[in-house]
A = this chain, B = another copy of it.
Amino acid sequence: MQRAPTIQIGTVAPKTATVNDPAQPGALGPARPLAPSELRYLVVATQREGNRTFARAVGELGLTPSHAEILVVLEEFGPMSLRDLGEMIVCEAGSPSRIVDTLVQRGLLERGVDPNDRRAIVITLTAEGRGKLPALRRIEHEMDGATADQLTPTQQVMVAGILRGFLAGTETGEALERRFARRPKATPRTR
């Protein structure tokens, strides 16, 4: 309602209202005390907004946010088993069999066999899958730009640090740690 109802497809929607002035690090509205559960709902709402924007952007490529996450991880870390993949992503905690299956059927991924373990599969990007990555990288960059329009670098680092602490010891927290802590460009993981 307050926001422009239509977003320009292909780019990340610009915000029409900006409460925080990015020129002032740490600047925000008056520090209202927190109502019960308010923080949790703020996190929920933030995730929803981010996911919807991301979904519209990658939807242009015929992908969903989960698809995008998997493609990016596979390009970043190289081929891996379903189990290892599950330990690197936030979507589909546990085994992402079905999402991988969808991507295999669309020709973006390949299911290979592990010669050392006939239970395991080795998931590899196909050429077509790899072809999605420049656009995905561009979208990620645009999303980060939209975040930068709303939050100062100081605020971003502050929130990230707090959330990392909150997630310490959780499965998804460990997944993000594996994924973002050290960034081994195209280093296939083995276990």
Interface residues of A (CB under 8 A from B): 1-3, 15-20, 28-29, 31-51, 54, 69, 72, 90, 93, 137, 140-141, 143-144, 147, 150-151, 155-176, 179-181, 183
Whole-angstrom CA separation of A158 from B155 in the bound complex: 9
Copies in the complex: 2
Whole-angstrom CA separation of A29 from B165 in the bound complex: 7
Whole-angstrom CA separation of A158 from B37 in the bound complex: 15
Whole-angstrom CA separation of A161 from B163 in the bound complex: 14
Q: How far is the CB of A156 from chain B (nearest CB, A)?
A: 6
A164 touches B42 (CB 8 A): yes
Whole-angstrom CA separation of A164 from B167 in the bound complex: 21
**Of all chain B residues, which has the CB nearest A136?**
B37
Chain B residues whose C-beta falls within 8 Å of the C-beta of A167 in the assembled complex:
42, 45-46, 49
Within the complex, which residue of B17, B160, B181 is in contact with A42, where a contact is CB–CB below 8 Å? B160
Chain B residues whose C-beta falls within 8 Å of the C-beta of A32 in the assembled complex:
157, 160-161, 164, 181
Within the complex, which residue of B39, B140, B171 is in contact with A37, where a contact is CB–CB below 8 Å? B140
Q: How far is the CB of A51 from chain B (nearest CB, A)?
A: 7
Whole-angstrom CA separation of A33 from B158 in the bound complex: 10
